[in-house]
Homo-oligomer: A and B are copies of this chain.
Amino acid sequence: MASTLEVLAEPSRRRILDLLLSGERPVGDLVEGSAMSQPSVSKHLRVLREAGLVEVRQDAQRRIYRVRPEPLRDLDEWLAPYRRLWASRLGALEQHLEAMPDDDPDLRR
């Protein structure tokens, strides 16, 4: 099984998660919202499911998916030591004066 970060690396999967953020949704909705073929969406859902990032509920022939945020907690914890870094760096900036070049504005997520 893939690590949470590997699973989240896929933009389509983040898209699906973001769609589920507003509440549980059947697969059909996700297909519309993500502009991919239904099989692709199903495959991504499988990966997300195996990573514990979503869970399913069955409603007749529909499968309703919803977010399962627990794995993201681990990510949050991994982030913790770095969080300290960027906190302390605010202070360090003063010593650097303004000699630093602008941060790259093209950063994604």
Chain A interface (Cβ within 8 Å of chain B)? Answer: 1, 3-6, 8-9, 11, 14, 17, 21, 51-52, 67, 69-76, 78-79, 81-83, 85-86, 89, 103-104, 106-109
Which chain B residue has the least Cβ–Cβ distance from A4?
B109
Give Cα A41 to B86, complex, Å.
24
From residue A104, how far is it (CB to closest CB) to chain B in Å?
5
Query: Is the Cβ of B5 less than 8 Å from the Cβ of A52?
Result: no
Query: Is the Cβ of A4 less than 8 Å from the Cβ of B107?
Result: yes
- A8 proximity list for chain B (CB < 8 A): 5, 9
Query: Is the Cβ of B6 less than 8 Å from the Cβ of A9?
Result: yes
A-B pairs with lowest CB-CB distance, top 10: A9-B9, A69-B86, A3-B108, A69-B85, A6-B9, A69-B82, A72-B82, A5-B9, A3-B109, A5-B8
- A11 proximity list for chain B (CB < 8 A): 3
Query: Is the Cβ of B107 less than 8 Å from the Cβ of A21?
Result: no
